[in-house]
Amino acid sequence: MVAAVGWSIAVFAPLGRAAETLDRVVASVGHVAITESDVEQEYRFERFLDGQWPPLPPGTSQLAAARDRLANQMVLEQEENPSPTDRAESEKAAAARLAELRKHYAQPGQYEQALKDLGMSEAALAARVTQQELILRLIDQRLRPAASPSDDEITAYYRSTFAPEFEKKNGGAPPPPLPEVAGQIREILTQKRVNELLDEWIEELRPTTNLRIHIF
């Protein structure tokens, strides 16, 4: 008999023996639970995509971050309504990412063994990365139009951050003129603002998706 006890999933032992906790719910989106083992697998999946295999044992803060990312992904998946073009482009981007990922596993058979250790098939991996790309497209389409910085913001960033950091990293050498790096700065500031807007969007979606986070 399997039953939920608090926020743990437990198997009841015979009378007189303590119940053995097999897993624990650490977040939920609607009626879908995210268990501790789900989060641990998410952490391993992220390390695999980073080419960091075998992964180091995660700390509590790393698991908490992986839990939050997994929960946010589930929330955003409910907002998706991809067009055939969106799906085709996402599949293409996923294939390119996986082709690049193979380069991190240089030894023959290393990539295949890591994927086996992760417990995923090639098809499941491609589907998962495609889903990530769909979410990235959703975020880009929804938030990027409102995230573009003004010329004054680009100039201020150049003076306060870009130029001092460039000089520090290059032994006091003068930074390139602003017109040469304006595009680079625009993208930095855009990504920063997109991340801020994404946090705000997730907070707005929490009540409608019933997103709940529990501590480890």
Q: In order along the chain (216 residues), what is the average pLDDT of each group of 10 residues?
A: 37 44 88 96 97 95 96 96 97 97 93 96 97 97 97 98 97 97 98 97 94 87
pLDDT for position 18: 47
Confidence at residue 165, expressed as pLDDT on a 0 to 100 scale: 97
Q: Distance between CA 38 and CA 115 in Å, rounded? A: 17
* Every domain of the chain and the residues it spans: 147-210
Q: What does the pLDDT read at residue 36?
A: 96
**Per-residue confidence (pLDDT) for residue 21, from 0 to 100:** 54
Q: Rounded to whole angstroms, how far apart are CA atoms 191 and 144? A: 8
**Count of CB atoms within 10 A of residue 161's CB?**
13
Q: Can you say whether residue 16 is alpha, beta or left, with left for phi > 0 and alpha for psi between -120 and 50 degrees?
A: left
pLDDT of the residue at 12: 38
Contacts of 52 (CB under 8 A, 6+ apart): none
The pTM assigned to this predicted structure is 0.83
pLDDT value for 159: 98
In this structure, how many other beta carbons lie within 10 angstroms of the beta carbon of residue 116?
11
User: What is the pLDDT at residue 216?
Assistant: 76
Q: What angle do CA 74, 77, 83 make, to 5 degrees?
A: 165
